[in-house]
Homo-oligomer: A and B are copies of this chain.
Amino acid sequence: MNKIQIENKLSQYGHRPTAARLEVVEALLNFHGHMTADDLYEHMQSTGSSVGRMTVFRTLDLLAEIGVVRPTYQGSGAAHFVLLEDGHHHHLVCMRCAQTVEFAECSFAEDLSQQLAEKHGFKIEGHLLEIYGVCKKCQAG
């Protein structure tokens, strides 16, 4: 998902694609990984952006609401945001050191997704699959 697509999605949901929001989106796409709101804010500061901390938080909330990112918990007390590239995301998480490996393989049957959607009256937009385990390093230690 690129900047333009996200911009369109914002409009589509009745939110203005303002300069500040697009700066956040841009930084998010550049960062391309898991980050907290403050990580992103500090990164933006370091690149000379004047977007405020609140706006970063609010924009991430907004993006979560329209399904572009999803907050997850990754060890620390702060929410980490992951980009749902095509509506979904999958990763392996080490239960010890919180190291995270992303993978693209998606074994998730869309059939079931739709089935569940109807059963519970939900309009499905995406999913996140987290697999837990212990990484090689922590198995050794």
Contact = CB atoms under 8 A, between A and B. Distances in A.
Contacts of A131: 113, 116, 122, 124, 126-127
Copies in the complex: 2
A134 B129 contact: no
Given A127-B132, A128-B129, 15 more contacts: A65-B96, A67-B95, A70-B132, A72-B73, A77-B79, A95-B125, A101-B120, A105-B112, A107-B111, A120-B135, A120-B136, A122-B133, A122-B136, A126-B131, A127-B130
28 contacts: A65-B96, A71-B73, A73-B73, A92-B120, A101-B120, A103-B116, A105-B115, A107-B107, A107-B112, A108-B108, A108-B129, A113-B131, A116-B131, A120-B135, A121-B135, A121-B139, A122-B133, A122-B134, A122-B136, A123-B133, A123-B134, A123-B139, A125-B132, A125-B133, A125-B134, A127-B130, A128-B130, A129-B129
